[in-house]
Amino acid sequence: MIEKLLELVQEHVILNEEERQVWRKRIETEDRFILIKDQETILGGLSYEFWTYHEDVLSCSILCACEKDEKALLKCREAIHHFIQSHPEIQMFSSRVCDTRQDIHKVYDALGFKAWYDYMTMLEYEPIELTSPHQLSVRNIEAEDFEMVFKHMGECFVWMRETVDIKPFNVVDKLWASEDKKQASFDEWIKEKENTFVYFDQGEFIGSGLILENGDIDDVFVVIKHQGKGYGKAIIIDLIERVKARGQSPMIGYVGVNERAGRLYHNCGFKLTQHAHYIRMFTKR
């Protein structure tokens, strides 16, 4: 049954083998995972994670994975409703639903959830001949790059976070809210020194990118004044080659409103694998 539950979870979240093992353990131990049952028959599960959205807004991210029959969907709705009622301290609930499961989407609709933003995952990579108009110099990050990288990264994503209402709009406002938080941000960032790269054109900082352990390309940005000049493609090409040199298949994703990024990734050989909808509900308590 655990494998079946994992399959249901993966309808909404793409997992690599390491992540599958984490989820398998969560399901086995019912760690932040509630089994959805009809008497003794398991129909699905509800996972949850508590977090803080913005300015101490207590939040909870839930994910409902269930069978497609009416009984399972009814039990899913009952489980979500009961969970929400059992946590009066939570001010915002959010969830992720793959676009292939409109039946679960309707369950959330009935409970009062509203659209938030879309997220596109691109996992399949079609090797094509890639060329760039720029020859950038690149190196791993150093401690002295911290403020430069975060300043520009925060600025680059403000428009997107404003568009889909992800607060704080400049993520640096949260990460640097205090000296302790700033130090914690630095400590986490520098841990990825071997996987995070900064790019320069004739000594001028252009942008940055990160390669996660599973080959996922993340945190890619180009300094605002240099956008629209082909630098993004140059950075993506370099990161693709680095992932391939590890013997991995490149992966990438983007928030749906960032269509420009989607076109860039498509032109670099990526194909859309999953379209997920993020939804949320604010409580009136």
Give me the helix-helix angle, 179-191 and 146-156, nearest 10°. 100
What are the pLDDT digits (tens) for 190-207? 999 999 999 999 999 999
Among 93, 68, 97, 108, which Cα is nearest to 275's?
97
- Owner of token pair 């999953």: 274
Q: Does the pLDDT at position 134 exceed 90?
A: no
Total H helices, total E strands in the chain: 10, 11
Contact between residue 6 and residue 24 where contact means Cβ atoms under 8 Å apart: yes
Confidence band, pLDDT 50/70/90 cuts, at residue 126: confident
Mean pLDDT over residues 5-24, rounded?
93
Residue 114 structure tokens: 């509203």
Would the pLDDT of 254 be above 80?
yes
pLDDT of residue 13: 94
The pLDDT value given to residue 54: 75
Homologous superfamily (CATH) of 2-119+277-282 is Gcn5-related N-acetyltransferase (GNAT) (3.40.630.30)
Could you read off the pLDDT of 223-253 as tens digits, one per residue? Answer: 999 999 999 999 999 999 999 999 999 999 9
pLDDT digits (tens, 9 = 90+) for 155-185: 999 999 999 999 999 999 988 989 999 999 9
Q: Which two tokens stand for residue 75?
A: 């039990």
Reference 252, options 98, 102, 162, 125; nearest CA is: 125
- Per the model's pLDDT, the better-predicted residue between 235 and 16 turns out to be 235
Q: Span 253-273, mean pLDDT?
A: 96
| pLDDT tens figures, 51-110 | 988 777 899 999 999 999 999 999 999 999 999 999 999 999 999 999 999 999 999 999
Distance (Å, whole) CA 11 – CA 98: 6
Residue 285 pLDDT exceeds 60: no
* Half-sphere exposure in the Cβ direction for 148 (13 Å, CA): 16
Residue 177: per-residue pLDDT? 87
Q: Which sequence spans correspond to the domains of the chain?
A: 2-119+277-282, 137-268
pLDDT at 86: 97
Alpha-carbon distance of 86 to 122, in angstroms, equals 36
CATH fourth-level superfamily of 137-268? Gcn5-related N-acetyltransferase (GNAT) (3.40.630.30)
For 30-42, how does the pLDDT look when each residue is reduced to its tens digit (9 = 90+)? 999 999 999 989 9
Amino acid 128: pLDDT: 79
Q: For the range 173-178, what are the long-range contacts, defined as Cβ-Cβ under 8 Å and sequence gap of 24 or more?
A: 174/54, 175/150, 176/150
Do the domains at 2-119+277-282 and 137-268 have one common CATH topology? yes
pTM of the model: 0.91
Q: Are 182 and 171 in contact (CB under 8 A)?
A: no
